[in-house]
């Protein structure tokens, strides 16, 4: 059958062709304008630098310190960008504007140099989506196998890293996913290769291989007590009778952040690649259990495991039987044996006219906040305190909240990386401390990282990444607006882990000057 077209049909056909051609021309790809933000001292790209236009369009550099700029209406013209970053500064002009004007030529690029105020150097983001987003858009080389989305992880809380069976085993708390606001609240995990065994150099990044479920999302690493939150910490690796390693951890069973309803020990099942129940503890003796990032030391021919929170005030013999026995745990404290902290009514162990710190059973450990209360009550003098380091710059005693302690061969001392509670930002100020003795006293401290109304909590130093005999160390923490009071979250970076590098030869770290 012959088909005929009317004039009107032909007209609409030509209109359709015109629209398709117009759409094709309008959709022609415009090259990005590349912005590279670098540390003026090292020349390395700086992640987490905010560039904001005068109409509040905000861009944040990726882990290469890069932004791929492509904004309709703002290409091929001079654009002003405010330049801001935690612990870095940029000079202001005569009107007090801290920023720069750039000609946003498609295919062009510009370099911005910023001054580092932090003693530690920010290197890269470890977890979350879009770690190298802008670099990928610009066709740049990146070090990671999965640079934009790995294990379907959008955000992860509080990292733990343990060498186990020749690999680094990583564990995190609550983990968010792309498909829904609620994700995995029963610990996530991954492995990576040690640098000496084929892994990336720690200054380049960490190639994480996540344990995933059948949907490709981080599987639950501790599927005990279905339906509630499970948090793990206090990971300890033991040799077992068959000359293999076993990994044990402390679990906290919670209804919420504030409400713990149970705790105990779990052990890693190498076949299932997850933790299973080992021991249940007395909920009323929460301090008599493993916590945080353990360290080991031999004293009087006995190997102990210490659990810094952030100071090493809890210990137990490094034996699986003792680890499971709450009565075997000791606390380092100045309280009378068998007592608990009661503010100004606390019973202090006085010997030779001074508060006496020692290891005691069935006694509550002392933390920095409690030491400060005892000082204010006149029960403790500043020179008697073990856990109130002095900041010589301010003359204040910053209160350490959480962190990690490691022996450092370069300094020949125990060193601590810890976050302050309070301060310039509530949980965003990170400090360096050191002591010749594990139990201190820890007398001086120096701030190494600062944040502006943002948290960087639960920092941890990874000694397996140390370089140059311990002179160069690496530590990470959780970057989050949680607890900060900030209403605005940093896109992609919020609720994720960021790596820093610290040179212990820095003149500012001579704490005893």
> Quick one: pLDDT at residue 23?
53
Q: Which residues pair with 434 in a beta bridge?
A: 415
More confident residue, 56 or 4: 56
Where do runs of H (alpha helix) occur along 342-489? 368-376
Place of tokens 């020990």: 265
| pLDDT greater than 90 at residue 278 | yes
The answer to whether the CB of 221 falls within 8 A of the CB of 188 is yes
| pLDDT tens figures, 226-240 | 888 999 999 999 988
Mean pLDDT of 341-357: 94
Q: What is the pLDDT of residues 103-155, one digit of tens each?
A: 999 999 999 999 999 999 999 999 999 999 999 999 999 999 999 999 999 99
The residue among 214, 96, 100, 194 whose CA lies nearest residue 152 is: 214
Could you tell me the pTM of the whole model?
A: 0.92
Q: What is the mean pLDDT of residues 55-65?
A: 98
- Residues 334, 335, 341, 344: is their CA dihedral positive or negative? negative
Q: How does pLDDT run across 425-446, given as a tens digit for each residue?
A: 999 999 999 999 999 999 999 9
Q: Which residues contact 360 (CB under 8 A, 6 or more apart)?
A: 330, 331, 332, 333, 335, 337, 338
Q: Please check whether residue 54 is in contact with residue 81, taking contact to mean a CB–CB distance below 8 angstroms.
A: no
Residue 260's H or E segment, with its range, is: strand 260-269
Q: In the predicted model, what is the mean pLDDT of residues 324-331? A: 96
Identify the band that residue 223 occupies on the pLDDT scale cut at 50, 70 and 90.
very high
Mean pLDDT of 162-183: 96
Position with higher pLDDT, 359 vs 286: 359
Give the model's pLDDT for residue 29.
72
pLDDT of res. 372 = 93
Mapped onto helix, strand or coil, the DSSP state of residue 459 is strand
The closest alpha carbon to 278, from 249, 254, 256, 303, belongs to 249
DSSP H helices, 338-462, are: 368-376
Architecture of the domain defined by 33-128: Sandwich (2.60)
> Is 90 exceeded by the pLDDT of residue 39?
yes
Number of neighbours of residue 261 by Cβ within 10 angstroms: 13
Per-residue b or e along 193-206, where b marks 16 or more CB atoms closer than 10 Å to that residue's CB: eebeeebeebbebb
Measure the CA–CA gap between 306 and 293, rounded to whole angstroms.
Answer: 9
Q: Can you tell me the mean pLDDT for 188-197? A: 97
Cis, bond preceding 28 (omega within 30 deg of 0): no
Residue 14: what pLDDT?
A: 53
Token pair for 363: 């006694």
pLDDT of residue 227: 82
Worst-scoring range by mean pLDDT, 41-50, 111-120, 220-229?
220-229
Residue 287 reports pLDDT greater than 90:
no
Residue 5 in this model has a pLDDT that exceeds 80? no
pLDDT band at 166 (very low <50, low <70, confident <90, very high): very high
On the question of pLDDT at 259 being above 60, the answer is yes
Paired tokens of 482? 């949680």
The confidence band for 2, taking pLDDT boundaries of 50, 70 and 90, is: very low
**Do residues 143 and 108 make contact, with C-beta atoms less than 8 angstroms apart?**
no
Domain boundaries, the chain: 33-128, 379-513
Which pLDDT score, from 0 to 100, does residue 21 have? 54
Model confidence pLDDT, tens digit, residues 384-411: 999 999 998 898 999 999 999 999 999 9
Q: What average pLDDT does the segment 79-87 reach? A: 98
pLDDT attached to residue 9:
55
* pLDDT tier for residue 159 given thresholds of 50, 70 and 90: very high
Mean pLDDT across the chain, nearest whole number? 93
**Three-state secondary structure call for residue 61:** coil
Q: What pLDDT, on a 0 to 100 scale, did the predictor assign at position 19?
A: 56
Q: Which of 324-328, 383-387, 473-477 has the lowest mean pLDDT?
A: 383-387
> Average pLDDT in the 34-42 region?
97
- Determine the pLDDT at residue 513: 53
Label residue 286 by pLDDT band (50, 70, 90).
confident
Give 161's contacts (C-beta < 8 A, 6+ positions apart): 168, 169, 170, 171, 460, 462, 464
CA torsion angle 170 454 121 495 (round to 10): 30
Residue-level pLDDT at 308: 95
Q: Phi and psi dihedrals of 134, rounded to 5?
A: -70, -35
* Dihedral, CA of residue 405, residue 409, residue 411 and residue 415, to nearest 10: 0
Q: How buried is residue 243: exposed, middle or buried, by Cβ count under 10 Å (0-12/13-18/19+)?
A: exposed
Using CA atoms, how far apart are residues 196 and 465, in angstroms rounded to an integer? 10
Residue 163 has pLDDT above 80, yes or no: yes
């Amino acid at each position: 059958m012959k088909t005929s077209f009317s004039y009107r049909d032909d007209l609409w056909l030509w209109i359709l062709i015109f629209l398709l051609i117009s759409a094709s021309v309008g959709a022609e790809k415009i090259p990005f304008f590349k912005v590279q933000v670098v540390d003026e001292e090292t020349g390395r790209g700086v992640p987490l630098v905010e560039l904001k236009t005068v109409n509040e369009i905000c861009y944040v550099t990726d882990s290469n310190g890069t932004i791929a700029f492509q904004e309709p209406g703002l290409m091929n013209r001079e654009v002003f960008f405010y330049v801001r970053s935690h612990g870095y500064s940029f000079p202001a002009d005569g009107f007090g504007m801290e920023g720069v004007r750039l000609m946003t030529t498609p295919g062009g690029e510009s370099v911005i140099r910023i001054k580092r105020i932090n003693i530690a150097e920010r290197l890269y983001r470890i977890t979350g989506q879009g770690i190298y987003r802008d670099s990928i858009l610009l066709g740049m080389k990146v070090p990671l196998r999965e640079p934009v989305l790995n294990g379907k992880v959008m955000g992860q809380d509080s990292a733990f890293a343990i060498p186990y069976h020749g690999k680094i085993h990583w564990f995190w708390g609550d983990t968010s996913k792309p498909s829904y606001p609620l994700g995995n609240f029963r610990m996530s995990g991954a492995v990576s290769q040690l640098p000496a065994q084929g892994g990336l150099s720690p200054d380049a990044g960490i190639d994480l291989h996540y344990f995933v479920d059948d949907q490709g999302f981080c599987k639950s690493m501790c599927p005990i007590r279905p339906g509630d939150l499970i948090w793990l910490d206090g990971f300890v690796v033991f040799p077992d009778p068959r000359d293999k390693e076993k990994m044990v951890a402390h679990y906290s069973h919670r209804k919420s952040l504030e409400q713990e309803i149970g705790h105990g020990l779990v052990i890693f099942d190498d076949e299932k690649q997850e933790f299973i129940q080992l021991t249940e503890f007395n909920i009323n003796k929460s301090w008599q259990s493993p916590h945080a990032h353990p360290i080991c030391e031999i004293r009087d021919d006995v190997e102990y495991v210490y659990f810094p929170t952030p100071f090493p005030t809890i210990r137990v013999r490094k034996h699986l039987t003792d680890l499971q026995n709450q009565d075997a745990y000791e606390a380092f404290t100045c309280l009378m044996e068998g007592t608990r902290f009661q503010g100004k009514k606390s019973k202090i162990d006085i010997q030779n006219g001074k508060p006496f710190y020692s290891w005691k059973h069935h006694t509550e450990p002392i933390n920095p906040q409690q030491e400060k209360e005892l000082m204010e009550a006149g029960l403790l003098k500043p020179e008697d305190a073990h856990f109130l380091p002095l900041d010589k710059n301010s003359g204040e005693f910053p209160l350490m909240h959480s962190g990690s302690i490691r022996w450092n061969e370069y300094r020949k001392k125990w060193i601590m990386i810890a976050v302050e509670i309070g301060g310039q930002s509530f949980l965003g100020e990170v400090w360096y401390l050191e002591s010749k003795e594990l139990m201190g006293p820890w007398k001086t401290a120096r701030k190494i990282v600062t944040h502006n109304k943002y948290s960087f909590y639960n920092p941890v130093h990874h000694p397996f990444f140390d370089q140059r005999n311990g002179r160069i160390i690496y530590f990470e923490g959780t970057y989050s607006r949680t607890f900060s009071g900030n209403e605005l979250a940093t896109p992609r970076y919020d609720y994720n882990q960021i790596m820093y590098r610290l040179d212990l030869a820095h003149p500012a770290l001579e704490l005893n000057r």
